[in-house]
Amino acid sequence: MNQEQIREKVRKGYSKIARDGDSRRRPKKSCCGAIGDTPGQFARKIGYSAEELATLPEGANLGLSCGNPTALASLKPGETALDLGAGGGFDVFLAGCKVGKSGRVIGVDMTPDMLAKARRNAAAYRKQSGLDNVEFRLGEIERLPVADASVDVVISNCVINLSPDKPQVWREIARVLKPGGRVAVSDLALLQPLPPSVSEMVEALVGCVAGAVLVEETARMARAAGLTDLTLNRKADFLDAKADWNDPLYRKIAARLPSGARVADFLVSLEVSARKPSA
């Protein structure tokens, strides 16, 4: 598939997740998802606190995370943050509570159904928190609808792996960051190349697996974009925890691996921290 065909497959997959979430059914096609747990239970497993989750509007947490970038970002009051692939607004709302009344959080998503869901959730967020500091913009993460050097922090949660042009995503991150601004990304990455039987699966692409790249490639792209102070933290227990889940996609992927291999032998949850050099 070419880049636009890949984007369209991802857009359709996540449109379905947005619609299914509205009807209170769990997503069925995301390896980042909460199959076997409720989204809240899954979020607790990967580092979100009960106090954080209690502040969220109902329906904002679709169970699509693979880490907690808002914690990794160490957000401060008054900062402007940008969330790449905001989905239903999960991390945007948590970030909004951290940056407070004087801060701002922008969520970007390319899926109109997700954007509509996030904007509906924003009304509940404003009512619950008393804050009016979030907004959602339609756009692709390879071409962010955000001005140069305008944000203090870029966060993203299990989204960059979905992009067909990851080097451009990292260049865009560097473009929109202020000098001295920082990056806090949770994503899925590869420990070794996937066999073609998995990497060519459309379901595995939408499920955050087939589009993942090697850990070393993630580091190379971030540095090539001009980011420094790079830190990569591999969280190997993320995929091990999924092994007993009744996840149809996980089972389908595992069945196509070499005999005796596990998905966790190939895939890892990766925390990426970096900084744009100061002027």
Domains of the chain in start order, with CATH, are 3-275 (3.40.50.150)
Instruction: Quote the tokens at residue 125.
Output: 């967020």
215: Cα separation from own chain's centroid: 16
Please report the pLDDT score of residue 247 as a whole number: 65
Question: Which band of pLDDT confidence, cut at 50, 70 and 90, is reported for residue 211?
Answer: confident
DSSP 3-state of 154:
strand
Other Cβ atoms within 10 Å of 75 Cβ, number: 25
Cβ-contact 274, 216 below 8 angstroms: no
Read off the DSSP letter of residue 67.
Answer: S
Structure confidence by residue, pLDDT tens digits, 173-186 = 999 999 999 999 99
Please report the pLDDT score of residue 201 as a whole number: 77
Percent of the chain at pLDDT above 70?
A: 90
Instruction: Quote the tokens at residue 170.
Output: 């990292």
DSSP 3-state of 241:
coil
- Using alpha carbons, select from 172, 89, 79, 179 the residue that is nearest to residue 135: 89
Question: Which band of pLDDT confidence, cut at 50, 70 and 90, is reported for residue 142?
Answer: very high
Residue 197: how many CA atoms within 13 Å on its side-chain side?
Answer: 7
Poorest-pLDDT segment among 57-71, 72-86, 134-148, 160-174: 57-71
Please report the pLDDT score of residue 246 as a whole number: 56
Res 148 pLDDT > 50: yes
Res 87 pLDDT > 60: yes
- Dihedral, CA atoms, 17, 208, 116, 171, nearest 10 degrees? -170
Mean pLDDT of 110-114: 94
**Does the predicted TM-score (pTM) go above 0.75?**
yes
Whole-angstrom distance, CA of residue 101 vs CA of residue 278: 26
Whole-angstrom distance, CA of residue 194 vs CA of residue 187: 16
Strand 151-157: give its sheet, edge to edge: 134-138, 104-109, 80-84, 151-157, 177-190, 267-275, 228-235
Structure confidence by residue, pLDDT tens digits, 6-23 = 888 888 888 888 888 653
Please report the pLDDT score of residue 30 as a whole number: 44
Whole-angstrom distance, CA of residue 210 vs CA of residue 117: 26
Instruction: Quote the tokens at residue 164.
Output: 């067909």
Cβ-contact 31, 208 below 8 angstroms: yes
Give whichever of 32-41, 139-148, 156-165, 259-268 has the largest mean pLDDT.
Answer: 139-148
Question: Which band of pLDDT confidence, cut at 50, 70 and 90, is reported for residue 261?
Answer: confident
Mean pLDDT over each residue of the chain, to the nearest integer: 87
Cβ-contact 65, 243 below 8 angstroms: no
Whole-angstrom distance, CA of residue 22 vs CA of residue 151: 31
